[in-house]
């Protein structure tokens, strides 16, 4: 029953994302609305991590299976893609490098921020003693 409840929470958030996508005239996918809503709910404590943890892990584990239909669609569209394959490869390489660089910089920023925050907390604690 716990897994059904967790799945229904995620499904409900996804449904809200679909509604927002339908009613807000912006070129934002419904899944992005859902991710933002889930993030805000987790951040504010409206939804606790324990309420969706197990099902989230399961969904992440089966994620590669979700991409199989997209890969089959690419194979079916090879006639259209084959004439400009070099453009696709260029974009894939450029965006991969960009995502790696941004992810690395953000991780470094988060680590430095956490270290600085921990040091300031330790200094404050030593002042109070």
pLDDT digits (tens, 9 = 90+) for 85-127: 899 899 999 999 999 999 999 999 999 999 988 888 787 777 7
Alpha helices in 62-84 (DSSP H): 63-66, 68-76, 78-81
- Same-domain check for residues 62 and 1: yes
Return the pLDDT at 122.
80
Whether residues 56 and 84 share a domain: the answer is no
pLDDT of residue 105: 96
Whether 17 contacts 39, CB under 8 Å: no
Domain extent for 112: 79-129
Among 11, 62, 56, CA closest to 37 = 11
- Shared domain for 38 and 95, answered yes or no, is no
The answer to whether position 71 is within a domain reads no
Higher model confidence: residue 38 or residue 68? 38
Distance CA 95, CA 121 (A): 38
Between 70 and 8, whose confidence is greater?
Answer: 8
8 and 59: one domain? yes
Residues 23-64: pLDDT tens digits? Answer: 998 999 999 999 999 999 999 999 999 999 999 999 999 988
Using an 8 Å Cβ cutoff, are 28 and 21 in contact? Answer: yes
The answer as to whether 72 is a domain residue is: no
In this structure, the answer to whether residues 18 and 50 fall within a common structural domain is: yes
How many structural domains does the chain have?
Answer: 2
């Amino acid at each position: 029953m716990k897994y059904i409840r967790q799945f229904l929470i995620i499904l409900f958030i996804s449904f809200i994302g679909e509604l927002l996508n339908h009613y807000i005239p912006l070129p934002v996918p419904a899944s992005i609305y859902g991710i933002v809503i889930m993030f805000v709910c987790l951040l504010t404590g409206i939804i606790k991590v324990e309420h969706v943890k197990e099902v989230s892990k399961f969904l992440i584990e089966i994620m590669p299976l979700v991409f199989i239909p997209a890969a089959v669609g690419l194979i079916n569209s090879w006639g259209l893609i084959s004439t400009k394959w070099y453009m696709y490869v260029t974009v894939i390489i450029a965006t991969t490098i960009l995502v790696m660089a941004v992810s690395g910089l953000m991780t470094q920023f988060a680590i430095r921020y956490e270290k600085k925050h921990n040091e300031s907390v330790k200094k404050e604690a030593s002042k109070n003693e």
